[in-house]
Amino acid sequence: MTSYLIRRVLTLIPLFFGITLISFLVIHLAPGSPIDVLADLNPKMTAEAKQRLITYYRLDKPLHERYWQWLRRFLALDFGVSFSADRRPVMDKIKETLPITITINVLSLLLILLVAVPIGAYSASHPYSTFDKFLTVFVYVGFAIPTFWLALLALIFFSVQLEWLPISGLRSLDYANLSLVGKLWDFVSHLILPVLLSAFSGLAGLSRYMRGSMLEVMRQDYITAARSKGLSEAEVIYKHALRNALLPVVTILGLSVPSLIGGSVIFEQIFGIPGMGRLFFTGVMSRDYPLVMGILTIGAFLTLLGNLVADVSYAVVDPRIRRGGG
Amino acid sequence: MGARDVIVFFSLSLSLSLSLFGCGERERAETPLPNLKSVAASPQPAYGDTVVEGSIGEATNLIPMLASDSASHGIAGLIINGLLKYDKDVRLVGDLAESWEVSQGGLQITFKLRRNVRWHDGHRFTAHDVLFGFQTIINPNTPTAYAEDFRQVKKAEVIDDYTFRVTYEKPFAPALSSWGSLVVLPKHLLEGKDITKSELARKPVGTGPYRFKEWISRDRVILEANPDYFEGRPYVDRYVVRVIPDLATMFLELKAGGLDLMGLTPIQYKRQTDDPFFRKRFTKYRYLANAYTYLGYNLLEPKFQDKRVRQALSYAIDKDEIIKVVLLGLGAPATGPYKPTLWFYNPDVKKYPHDPAKALALLKEAGWEDRDGDGVLDKDGQPFEFTVITNEGNALRHRTAVIIQERLKKIGVRMKIRVIEWSAFINEFIDKKNFEATILGWTTGFEPDQYDIWHSSKTGKKELNFISYKNPEVDELLEAGRRTFEQEKRTAIYGRFQAILAEEQPYTFLYVPEALPIVNARIHGIEPSPLGISYNFNRWYVPRELQRYGQVALVP
């Protein structure tokens, strides 16, 4: 087992650096440079001033040299300083935005799970019933509706008409003067709509997957055996079938770990949430290479880690994998 | 994306997010104004309350010389003073400088500074701070986009604690306006430090009407009134800028009372705020923005080298129609590179009302006629067709292009439209002069100098005269305008400059859009000017009985 683990980790290392290299090349291939944002069509910006900035950001150095420099800094766990005018360390910016993005994504994933599993299970146990069809339509509507539109409708209804919920941001203006409970409620109330809406649009995938997996399981012999034992239908479904049907769903969940840090540009934009999605988006738009590289690297790392965990847990469960792997 | 097309950055502007608006009139509500506004009949200035503004983008750096975005300059403008500023009528007046004197034929400027001005941390402000700021901005290691005006300075010296003198290589009139808020830095906090790593970028210390209080990243910046401000304590106690990246959300936030101030889109202005709810609670303003949109012809293209052809295209285009459709009427036709209402604007230049017959006559004179009867003009067997390029993400420009396309089709000119992503647009097409015509915009300022856009020496690659306009008289005028300090003489110089551009039509100047701020009606003291509305923010107030945010909110 240990040697399997070591082998897996060793193969991941070149993969990881491969990813950083490709990411580095791709973002530098995109037309334009960070100087564009500062200088484009600004008459106060002469050619020499531009040249000074280019030298300042080391954009005059060849690409491999810059990658090497990035790599050396990265090995010291330093992502460098953002190219944007605030010149703050990339790590600080990521640290600021990551928690809220993870919070929202975890909450919405939990919510999806909480709703999608029963929906899927019910649909599978009553396939092609009216309710199954209704649920199918419902989740697909959620999937198909443009989320920005739905989000605006929800804002107009809950926040402007009913005045139940705040509109944007994470904290109210008078946050500092609130009691502890007040602060907590203030924070939670700001999260309700973003979490609900992102869960709504994500329902379709998981509930359909659950339904499929469940239908598969229901055809297995042991379900027939359970039924023939005389167990009640509820016991058959919720005790025997559901547990087994959940396994592949959990695998899917494991694979979605990296997307937890991705954040959604659209939601963060509409609800004015200071998260990673917006950070990354503005980073790309302004060609803020260190920032983009920082986020991509962390994303790559988490993806590989997710894969590793998945592989290792399979190996734990299934001895054939760890023996036959090499 | 508009902010990316920024040009002629204006160094003295106050809250840029607002002051992109020029002169205009206050929107008159048709119905009598009930409650909130009825107090306005006899409002008493009072201290207190908070003004919350919405901003699409977040500030990046509150040291003005290091930032190039309007959000940063808007906030820093309330914290930091310059030596000079513009008054209501766009005349330069002293800010930190009490007075100034131009001597030796414009080569030397001597600033007499205010005494007893203190930095927000209590330190005294002196001429050494100005010299230090100057040395920092010309330091090649300072990543600033604004060094150029200061590089013209031959010598800068501190005469005494309250006298600062600069000597130029040659007279340079735009220099005066450059001594705005970009250049004054607190020497005692920055000396011997790397300015790019300074914490002042996020916790600025200035001399201005507002002091920095708190910055929650990507969320809001909070400023509070400086009770010791040299012009007196500002009325409004607290100023908050909230970052709301989505305009629709921002509008809902305004409607729900979470914002006091934002800029509207034409649709929001015309259709969504025209009801009793908004009329009662808000005041809308409209001003000509400091920007214009144009159709620029690449003058290296043989077919655009004939002035008559360019004039003909200008006659064929219906500017009023574009303004009506694209801006819902919220704009004015552009006649040249300056917006109307500024002192150097020349209203008596040749204009091009929509006149297809005249357009056809001019084209015929230039040899363009529909000889083969296919509906497209031709000359030497070549049909009159060209491609206009514009940048992606600017719907206004795209719609403008479509309207122009339709108008030109009617006189037999075939125009194709190509929309290109901004970076590629600039790098591959504009910088390389690889285009026939383009629809773009310039942001303008309160200083008439446009040397970089129109002088024949600026036609190189990656320079701003990318249409390759060359006119010896214009060159001379632009040079003279830089040498001359007297306003009357400059008015004459730039008046002539506008007349030539209007005659030659290197661009078809299309329109000047209007900026459309909306402000909560409880806020008083706003005096619109060509500068916008926010230039006198420290004189805004909320009468006691209308105040909404209590004093308690000021306690941390």
**Contact state of A173 with B258 under an 8 Å Cβ cutoff:** yes
Measured between CA atoms, how close is B103 to chain A, in angstroms?
Answer: 25
Does the structure show a pLDDT above 60 at B24? no
**Contact state of B145 with A168 under an 8 Å Cβ cutoff:** no
**CB neighbours (10 Å) of residue A191?**
19
The CA R_g of chain B, rounded to the nearest whole Å, is 25
pLDDT tens string B66-87: 887 888 999 999 999 999 999 9
Mean pLDDT of chain B: 87
- The crossing angle, in degrees rounded to 10, of helices A147-154 and A180-218 is 140
Could you tell me which of B535, B524, B471 has the C-alpha nearest to residue B502? B471
Could you tell me the pLDDT band of residue A218, with boundaries at 50, 70 and 90?
confident
Between CA A284 and CA A292, with CA A289 as vertex, the angle to 5 degrees is 55
Could you tell me which of B39, B216, B205 has the C-alpha nearest to residue B120? B205
With a CB cutoff of 8 Å and minimum separation 6, the contacts of B337 are B292, B442, B444, B450, B453, B454, B498, B501, B507, B509
**Contact state of A173 with B245 under an 8 Å Cβ cutoff:** no
Q: Which residue has the higher pLDDT, B5 or B456?
A: B456
**Contact state of A85 with B140 under an 8 Å Cβ cutoff:** no
Nearest chain B Cα to A282, which residue? Answer: B57
What percent of chain B has pLDDT above 90?
64
**CB neighbours (10 Å) of residue B386?**
18
**Contacts A47 to B, Cβ<8 Å:** 460, 462-463
| Residue keyed to tokens 């190039």 | B68
**Contacts A274 to B, Cβ<8 Å:** 217-219, 243
For residue B323 the two structure tokens come to 């303004």
**Residue B344 identity (one-letter amino acid):** F
Does the structure show a pLDDT above 50 at B1? no
Does the structure show a pLDDT above 80 at B147? yes
Could you tell me the pLDDT band of residue B15, with boundaries at 50, 70 and 90?
very low
Q: Which of B217, B426, B553 sits opposite A274 (nearest CB)?
A: B217
* pLDDT number for residue B98: 93
With a CB cutoff of 8 Å and minimum separation 6, the contacts of B78 are B14, B15, B208, B209, B210, B223, B239, B537, B538
Q: Which of B66, B256, B450 sits opposite A167 (nearest CB)?
A: B256
Does the structure show a pLDDT above 50 at B555? no
Stretch (H or E) spanning B189: helix B187-190
* pLDDT number for residue A41: 56
CA separation for the pair B416, B305 (Å, rounded) = 19
Average pLDDT score over residue span B26-40: 42
**CB neighbours (10 Å) of residue B212?**
24
**Contact state of A167 with B217 under an 8 Å Cβ cutoff:** no
Question: Residues, chain A, total?
Answer: 326
Q: Which of B143, B423, B556 sits opposite A36 (nearest CB)?
A: B423
Measured between CA atoms, how close is A48 to chain B, in angstroms?
Answer: 9
Does the structure show a pLDDT above 80 at A46? no
**Contact state of B248 with A152 under an 8 Å Cβ cutoff:** yes
Stretch (H or E) spanning B84: strand B84-86
**Contact state of B452 with A160 under an 8 Å Cβ cutoff:** no
Could you tell me the pLDDT band of residue B35, with boundaries at 50, 70 and 90?
very low
**Cα separations in angstroms, B163 against B41, B82, B157, B464, B528:** 45, 15, 9, 37, 33
* pLDDT number for residue B304: 95
**Contact state of B148 with A41 under an 8 Å Cβ cutoff:** no
**Contact state of A39 with B145 under an 8 Å Cβ cutoff:** yes
**Contacts B50 to A, Cβ<8 Å:** 173
**CB neighbours (10 Å) of residue A128?**
8
Could you tell me the pLDDT band of residue A317, with boundaries at 50, 70 and 90?
low
CA separation for the pair A171, A187 (Å, rounded) = 6
Does the structure show a pLDDT above 90 at B358? yes
**Contacts B450 to A, Cβ<8 Å:** 43
Between CA A196 and CA A205, with CA A200 as vertex, the angle to 5 degrees is 140
Measured between CA atoms, how close is B248 to chain A, in angstroms?
Answer: 8
**Contacts A50 to B, Cβ<8 Å:** 462
For residue B105 the two structure tokens come to 């034929």
Measured between CA atoms, how close is B439 to chain A, in angstroms?
Answer: 14
CA separation for the pair B187, B457 (Å, rounded) = 38
**Contact state of B244 with A168 under an 8 Å Cβ cutoff:** yes
**Contact state of A274 with B258 under an 8 Å Cβ cutoff:** no
**Contacts B67 to A, Cβ<8 Å:** 85
pLDDT tens string B216-269: 888 899 999 999 999 999 999 999 999 998 888 999 999 988 999 999 999 999
CA separation for the pair B287, A19 (Å, rounded) = 51
**Contacts B140 to A, Cβ<8 Å:** 52
Average pLDDT score over residue span B192-214: 92
For residue B76 the two structure tokens come to 């820093």
CA separation for the pair B413, B408 (Å, rounded) = 5
Does the structure show a pLDDT above 60 at B556? no
Using DSSP's 3-state secondary structure scheme, residue B157 falls into strand
Full 3-state SS string of A215-244? HHHHCCHHHHHHHHCCCCHHHHHHHHHHHH
**Contact state of B219 with A171 under an 8 Å Cβ cutoff:** yes
**Contact state of B4 with A37 under an 8 Å Cβ cutoff:** yes
**Contacts B147 to A, Cβ<8 Å:** 49
Measured between CA atoms, how close is A150 to chain B, in angstroms?
Answer: 12
Does the structure show a pLDDT above 70 at B554? no
**Residue A216 identity (one-letter amino acid):** E
**Contact state of B421 with A31 under an 8 Å Cβ cutoff:** yes
Asked whether the whole model's pTM tops 0.90, one would answer no
Q: Which of B4, B61, B69 sits opposite A40 (nearest CB)?
A: B4
CA separation for the pair B234, A108 (Å, rounded) = 45
**Contacts A41 to B, Cβ<8 Å:** 5-7, 426, 442, 464
CA separation for the pair B436, A288 (Å, rounded) = 32
**CB neighbours (10 Å) of residue B190?**
18
How would you classify the pairing of strands B507-515 and B92-94? unpaired
ipTM of the complex: 0.80
* pLDDT number for residue B26: 41
Stretch (H or E) spanning A105: helix A90-125
Return phi, psi of residue B408, to 5°: -70, -35
Give the lowest-confidence range in A67-76, A194-203, B10-19. B10-19
For residue A89 the two structure tokens come to 């360390």
Helices (H), B373-471: 395-410, 422-424, 451-454
Using DSSP's 3-state secondary structure scheme, residue B381 falls into coil
Does the structure show a pLDDT above 80 at B159? yes
Q: Which of B61, B240, B249 sits opposite A168 (nearest CB)?
A: B249
**Contact state of B141 with A167 under an 8 Å Cβ cutoff:** no
pLDDT tens string B266-293: 999 999 999 999 999 999 999 999 899 9
**Contacts A45 to B, Cβ<8 Å:** 145, 148
Mean pLDDT of chain A: 83
Using DSSP's 3-state secondary structure scheme, residue A90 falls into helix
Does the structure show a pLDDT above 70 at B144? yes
**Contacts B66 to A, Cβ<8 Å:** 85, 87
Return phi, psi of residue A169, to 5°: 85, -170
With a CB cutoff of 8 Å and minimum separation 6, the contacts of B24 are B285, B286, B287, B288, B341, B514, B528
Could you tell me the pLDDT band of residue B23, with boundaries at 50, 70 and 90?
very low
Does the structure show a pLDDT above 90 at B456? yes
pLDDT tens string A133-167: 888 888 888 888 888 888 899 999 998 888 888 88
**Contacts A44 to B, Cβ<8 Å:** 9, 145-146, 148-149
With a CB cutoff of 8 Å and minimum separation 6, the contacts of A129 are none
Q: Which of B8, B50, B258 sits opposite A167 (nearest CB)?
A: B258
CA separation for the pair B277, B281 (Å, rounded) = 6
* pLDDT number for residue B174: 87
Beta bridge pairs of residue B158: B164
Q: Which site among A29, A42, A53, A171 would you substitute to test the B interface, given the most B Cβ atoms closer than 10 Å to its Cβ? A: A42
pLDDT tens string A275-299: 888 888 888 888 888 999 998 888 8
Instruction: Check if the beta carbon of residue B55 is closer than 8 Å to that of residue B17.
Output: yes
DSSP state of B269: I
For residue B102 the two structure tokens come to 């131009």
Highest mean pLDDT: which range of A50-59, A177-186, B531-540: B531-540
pLDDT tens string B463-520: 889 999 999 999 999 999 998 988 899 999 999 999 999 999 999 999 999 999 999 9
**Residue A30 identity (one-letter amino acid):** A
Could you tell me which of B388, B396, B442 has the C-alpha nearest to residue B420? B388
Could you tell me which of B56, B68, B59 has the C-alpha nearest to residue B10? B68
**Contacts A93 to B, Cβ<8 Å:** 217
